[in-house]
């Protein structure tokens, strides 16, 4: 590769982002035309594929940092630098792969949109903004991209603005997004210091000690609110499902990853060496997020909201990895930190794949039946076999089960957790096993959650006419979903390649990296030591498949071939009504009873009619969203009270207004006068 290549790559990436932004106004023009949305989505697929390829070359190519492009159209404060380094290149690969496939899906799916002009123009801008954040090599363009991303996604959330719930979701989202951006602004402000060097390189050099801790919390709030860390997750399960499904896939699968990138960039890269206790708040928040996220998801019967809540859980898992990496890095355990960070970024990659896949699947179900409520679905595996197959793959992957990819990243996280006795400080040393238990719990609950999601939606008998008459989605959507499913499997059975590609990232952030996995025989992965732990996804996959094939062969050879179709047995009392099946609610009931009492203050009441009375018995379930009620409602109440008070200010005489202005002026002068 010639020395000019890196610069050329950055140039190319910048042009691609520019193209994406140009597609937005084009979208306005084309949206109403037939084929207009297909053109835009197709263009997005192309551009994202190019961006992914560029980022991959940037990631694997020689030299950790690429020359940044300085934009001619500089923003008013300082220079605008755009370019990839290892970290942003890795995230750019992940994001653009997902974006490209989702856009491919949208080529088919976008035809169903009722008002394409509300979606099509913002979609490329949204992708462009996310890429701008990754390309940014200075705080200013980072923040500009961040705001663009928030606004574009907000516009997409309100695209179906006729529903009251969606408008409320959008309002909460924009408030949270504004708050998050504000904290990030403060974080960058602190990092830049009084000198005001906003370029990342300048911040890195002048990383002042002391402010790091404040920056950590600001980043945790700012990036965490975008990613969906509990308790800042409140907007996420409202806003993600409100958008059209391919946008939901982007918001859940991709945008949260950009937020993770923001956190990693600020905490690992910019704010200097970490202190030993930094990992504690991160791990605590992450553990709570993982557990609460999956419990919320289990209680949810709306397919898309379930998936959105599940994003919260996965963000928790990612942040567990990041917290571990912080703990290890602060203690000078380079390899362990590299392992934890690899696990986290690997999970970012995995989640981008399978959460996009699942949202696309839910979109297919939605367009086929018009239903998001799982209680109205069922039996779709017979009507939509391809969607069901891809969705099943996604469910197995997200439940962290081998041989799919979700398992690999959780396995790596567990391996990192098992290195915790090396930590010198007692509190993280004891905290980490507890976090491990939380992670194990949330993984097991996730399996329950996705048995519910798949079993109730796709299996059983149809619970409504719409589900009975559903038909398979178009070819574009199917191939996009199958492609994601295949990627999930590939990343699961050949994880060594992913781990090796993350080497430059860990080298850049924690100054160490795992031993190259390509040196291992038979695509096996060995994070630290062969005697310690190893996993060979390919071999496990082949063994399971071979064992299944052998069994099937033997059974076919020796067993009776007779097969009779008959009505279901059901212990002798089959009931033709589909209402007698287990529903999502009944599936989750035991779990609600065991975990819900504490977490949701769940209360169940059965009101039985008196003997002899023919009235129906009623089951009344009461669930409380504890986080919302204890944290958000008081704030809302406070704001309302304050607004009521301030309302009177609107009806003052001019003299009183002048008095107010005068008092404000005098006060300001007094403050200025007494400042020193």
State in angstroms the smallest separation of the CB of 474 from other proteins.
22
Token pair listed for 364: 């297919």
Q: Using CB under 8 A, which of the segments 409-417, 475-483, 634-642, 654-662 binds other proteins?
A: 409-417
519 binds other proteins (CB under 8 A): no
> Which stretches of 61-162 are DSSP H helices?
86-109, 122-135, 139-157
Check if the beta carbon of residue 357 is closer than 8 Å to that of residue 391.
Answer: yes
Element (DSSP H or E) covering residue 619? strand 618-622
Verify binding: residue 543, other proteins, rule CB under 8 A. Answer: yes
How does DSSP classify residue 375? G
Q: Rule CB under 8 A: choose which of 76, 210, 421, 673 binds other proteins.
A: 421
Nearer to other proteins, 103 or 342 (CB): 342
The verdict on 164 binding other proteins (CB under 8 A) reads: no
Closer residue to other proteins in complex, CB, 469/575: 575
Q: Which of 1, 437, 649, 661 binds other proteins (CB under 8 A)?
A: 437
Cβ atoms of residues 343 and 327 within 8 Å: no
With contacts defined by CB under 8 A, name the span among 105-113, 238-246, 431-439, 508-516 that binds other proteins.
Answer: 431-439
Task: Please report whether residue 15 would count as binding other proteins according to CB under 8 A.
Answer: no
Cβ closest to other proteins, residue 39 vs residue 459? 459
Residues 576-595 that bind other proteins (CB under 8 A): 578, 580-582, 586-591, 593-594
39 in contact with other proteins (CB under 8 A):
no
Among 277, 414, 497, 632, binds other proteins (CB under 8 A): 414
Q: Which residues contact 168 (CB under 8 A, 6 or more apart)?
A: 238
Interface stretch with other proteins, choices 213-221, 342-350, 505-513, 575-583 (CB under 8 A): 575-583
Q: What are the φ and ψ backbone dihedral angles of 619, each rounded to 5 degrees?
A: -110, 120
* Nearer residue to other proteins within complex by CB, 83 or 460: 460
Q: Does 534 bind other proteins (CB under 8 A)?
A: yes
> Where does this chain touch other proteins (CB under 8 A) — which range of 57-65, 143-151, 213-221, 438-446?
438-446
User: Binding to other proteins (CB under 8 A): which residues in 371-390?
Assistant: 378-379, 381-382, 385
CB 563 → other proteins: shortest distance, Å? Answer: 5
What phi and psi values does residue 150 have, to the nearest 5 degrees?
-60, -45
Q: Are 623 and 602 in contact (CB under 8 A)?
A: yes
Q: Does 77 bind other proteins (CB under 8 A)?
A: no
* Minimum CB distance to other proteins smaller for 95 or for 418: 418
415 binds other proteins (CB under 8 A): yes
Q: How many CB atoms lie within 10 A of CB 169?
A: 23
Contact 52/96 with Cβ under 8 angstroms? yes
Q: Does 434 bind other proteins (CB under 8 A)?
A: yes
Look-up of token digits 């603005």 = 161
Secondary structure of 204-231 in HEC code, one letter for each residue: HHCCCCCCHHHHHHHHHHHHHHHHCCCC
Q: Which of 74, 195, 196, 433 binds other proteins (CB under 8 A)?
A: 433
CB-wise, 46 or 440, nearer to other proteins? 440
Binding to other proteins by residue 638, rule CB under 8 A?
no
Nearer residue to other proteins within complex by CB, 46 or 591: 591
Q: What minimum distance in Å lies between the beta carbon of 537 and other proteins?
A: 9
Smaller CB distance to other proteins: residue 1 or 545?
Answer: 545
Number of residues that bind other proteins (CB under 8 A): 92
User: H or E segment at 244?
Assistant: none
**Alpha-carbon distance 331 to 164, whole Å?**
51
- Which are the contacts of 69, defined by CB distance < 8 A and separation ≥ 6? 7, 10, 11, 14, 81, 82, 83
Which one of 175, 275, 552, 641 is in contact with other proteins (CB under 8 A)? 552
**Residue 516 φ then ψ, to 5°:** -60, 130
Residues in contact with 263: Cβ distance below 8 Å, sequence separation at least 6, in sequence order: 219, 220, 223, 224, 227, 319, 322
Q: Which of 84, 319, 411, 600 binds other proteins (CB under 8 A)?
A: 411
**Rule CB under 8 A: which of 450-479 touch other proteins?**
450-452, 454-456, 459-461
> What phi and psi, each to the nearest 5 degrees, are found at residue 375?
-65, -15
Q: How far is CA 363 from the centre of its chain?
A: 17
Question: Binders of other proteins among 593-622, rule CB under 8 A?
Answer: 593-594, 597-598
Q: How far is the CB of 533 from other proteins (least distance, A)?
A: 4
CA 443 to chain centre: 16
Cis, peptide link before residue 403, omega less than 30° from 0: yes
- Cβ(622)–Cβ(611) below 8 Å: no
Q: Residue 570 region, left (φ>0) first, then alpha (ψ -120 to 50), else beta?
A: left
- Site membership for other proteins, residue 445 (CB under 8 A): yes
Dihedral (CA of 49, 51, 57, 60) sign: negative
When asked if residue 649 is in the footprint of other proteins (CB under 8 A), the reply is no
Among 399, 473, 501, 503, binds other proteins (CB under 8 A): 399
């Amino acid at each position: 590769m010639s020395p000019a290549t890196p610069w050329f790559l950055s140039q190319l990436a910048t042009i691609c982002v520019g193209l994406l932004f140009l597609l937005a106004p084009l979208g306005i023009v084309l949206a109403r035309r037939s084929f207009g949305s297909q053109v835009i989505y197709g263009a997005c697929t192309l551009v994202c594929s190019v961006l992914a390829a560029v980022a991959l070359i940037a990631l694997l190519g020689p030299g950790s940092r690429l020359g940044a492009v300085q934009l001619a159209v500089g923003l008013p404060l300082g220079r605008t630098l755009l370019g990839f380094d290892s970290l942003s290149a890795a995230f750019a690969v992940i994001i653009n792969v997902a974006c490209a496939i989702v856009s491919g899906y949208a080529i088919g799916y976008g035809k169903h949109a009722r008002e394409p002009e509300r979606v099509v123009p913002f979609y490329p801008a949204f992708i462009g903004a996310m890429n701008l954040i990754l390309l940014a090599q200075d705080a200013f363009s980072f923040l500009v991209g961040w705001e663009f991303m928030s606004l574009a996604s907000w516009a997409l959330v309100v695209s179906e603005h006729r529903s009251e719930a969606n408008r409320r979701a959008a309002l909460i989202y924009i408030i949270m997004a504004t708050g998050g951006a504000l904290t990030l602004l403060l974080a960058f402000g602190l990092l830049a210091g009084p000198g005001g060097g906003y370029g990342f390189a300048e911040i890195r050099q002048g990383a002042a000690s002391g402010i790091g801790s404040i920056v950590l919390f600001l980043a945790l709030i700012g990036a965490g609110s975008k990613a969906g860390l509990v308790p800042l997750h409140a907007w996420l399960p409202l806003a993600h499902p409100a958008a059209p499904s391919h946008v939901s896939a982007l918001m859940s699968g991709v945008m949260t990853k950009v937020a993770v990138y923001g956190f990693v960039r600020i905490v690992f890269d910019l704010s200097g060496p970490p202190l030993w206790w930094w990992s504690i708040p991160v791990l605590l928040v992450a553990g709570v997020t993982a557990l609460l996220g999956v419990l919320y998801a289990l209680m949810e019967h709306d397919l898309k909201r379930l998936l959105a809540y599940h994003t919260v859980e996965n963000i928790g898992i990612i942040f567990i990895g990041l917290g571990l990496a912080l703990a290890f890095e602060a203690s000078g355990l380079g390899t362990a930190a590299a392992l934890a960070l690899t696990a986290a970024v690997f999970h970012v990659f995995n989640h981008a794949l399978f959460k996009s896949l699942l949202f696309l699947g839910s979109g297919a179900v939605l367009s086929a039946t018009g239903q998001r409520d799982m209680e109205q679905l069922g039996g779709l595996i017979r009507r939509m076999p391809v969607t069901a197959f891809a969705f099943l793959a996604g469910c197995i992957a997200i439940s962290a089960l081998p041989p799919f990819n979700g398992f690999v990243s959780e396995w790596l996280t567990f391996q990192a957790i098992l290195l915790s006795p090396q930590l010198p400080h007692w509190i993280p040393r004891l905290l980490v096993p507890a976090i491990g238990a939380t992670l194990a719990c949330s993984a097991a609950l996730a399996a329950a959650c996705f048995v519910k999601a798949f079993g109730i939606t796709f299996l059983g008998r149809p619970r409504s006419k719409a589900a009975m008459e559903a038909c398979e989605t178009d070819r574009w959507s199917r191939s996009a979903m199958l492609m994601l499913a295949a990627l999930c499997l590939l990343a699961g059975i050949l994880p060594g390649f992913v781990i090796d590609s993350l080497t430059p990232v860990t080298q850049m952030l924690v100054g160490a990296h795992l031993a190259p996995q390509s040196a291992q025989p038979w695509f096996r992965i060995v994070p630290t030591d062969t005697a310690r732990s190893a996993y060979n996804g390919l071999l496990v996959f082949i063994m399971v498949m071979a064992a299944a094939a052998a069994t099937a062969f033997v059974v076919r050879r020796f067993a009776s071939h007779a097969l009779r179709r008959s009505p279901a047995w059901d212990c002798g009392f089959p009931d033709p009504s589909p209402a007698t099946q287990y529903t999502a609610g009944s599936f989750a009931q035991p779990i609600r009873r065991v975990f819900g009492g504490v977490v949701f203050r769940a209360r169940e009441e059965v009101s039985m009619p008196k003997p002899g009375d023919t009235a129906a018995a009623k089951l009344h379930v009461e669930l409380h969203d504890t986080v919302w009620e204890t944290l958000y409602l008081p704030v809302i109440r406070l704001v309302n009270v304050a607004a009521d008070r301030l309302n009177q200010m609107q009806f003052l005489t001019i003299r009183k207004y002048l008095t107010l202005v005068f008092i404000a002026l005098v006060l300001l002068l007094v403050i200025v006068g007494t400042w020193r």
